[in-house]
Amino acid sequence: MQLTAIFETWHLGDGNYPPLHNGQLVNLSFEFSPYSLSKSTKPKPSKFEQVKDAEYSFAGTVLKVYGKPPKGKLVVVQAEDFRFYINSFPTHSPVLKEGDRCEGFGRLLLDHYIWVESLSSYKDPPDLFYSLRLTGIRAVKIPDAFISRTANAQAGPASLGQDDYSNDDIQEVERMEASHGDWSFYLVTFDDSDVGSVKIPRTFHT
């Protein structure tokens, strides 16, 4: 299994994750942030397919639903052999329940804490953790057009979709460092083919 996911740099400031580096063994769970999400009206083969960078399309099955809409809802989906959770939903998304078939398109990110940190509160939680080797890191500079600056403050997105940055904004790096800038995020590539049987502790700092 190969995956590319977004690592937002605020994780480092909050202490959720350590700075990652190439070749590192990690144990991670993942969040999917959909641009579009719908129930499948006809049976479709399960899939989790990369479109570009950290953007994927999927068709899968809802394994668990925790919390109640509109606040606190968390949906766990299995698409092919990959499991992830969804915690943010596009406007007019359907209300999903366990066993529903669904499909969507969006971005894959590292768990922002709501799964690993709250795991003990979920009844019969599916296993969303994957032992992987980090095989590539790209630092992506967020273009100035997305950043609002005043004399006293700055505001901007923590990451972007692949249509909003170009190859000129990307730099391949060996490890995550503060020198890559406040207005940046990482595209991190993982592979499970060279992990072996070693037990890897969870990478998230709880």
Sign of the torsion angle spanned by Cα atoms 9, 175, 113, 4: positive
Taking a C-beta distance cutoff of 8 angstroms, is the pair 157, 8 a contact?
no
Per-residue pLDDT of the chain (206 residues), as tens digits, is 899 999 999 999 899 999 999 999 999 999 999 999 999 988 889 999 999 999 999 999 999 999 865 456 999 999 999 999 999 999 999 999 999 999 999 999 999 999 999 899 999 999 999 999 999 999 999 999 999 988 888 899 999 999 999 999 999 999 999 778 789 999 999 999 888 888 899 999 87
- Counting other chains too, the contacts that 163-167 makes at CB distance below 8 Å and 24 or more residues apart are 165/140, 165/141
Give the angle subtended at the CA of 163 by the CAs of 159 and 166, to the nearest 5°: 85
pLDDT at 72: 66
Q: pLDDT (tens digit, 9 = 90+) per residue, 8-25?
A: 999 998 999 999 999 999
Q: Is 62 helix (H, G, I), strand (E, B) or coil?
A: strand
DSSP state of 143: P
Provide the CB-side half-sphere exposure for 12 (13 A, CA).
Answer: 17
Q: Tell me: the pLDDT tens digits for 59-98?
A: 999 999 998 654 569 999 999 999 999 999 999 999 999 9
CA separation for the pair 169, 132 (Å, rounded): 27
Question: What is the per-residue pLDDT for 42?
Answer: 84
In this prediction, residue 99 carries a pLDDT of: 95
The pLDDT of residue 71: 53
State the Cα–Cα distance between residues 97 and 31, nearest whole angstrom: 18
Q: What pTM does this model have?
A: 0.94
Query: Is the previous residue joined to 157 through a cis bond, with omega within 30 degrees of 0?
Result: no
Please name which of 130, 137, 101 lies closest in space to residue 29, comparing C-alpha atoms. Answer: 130
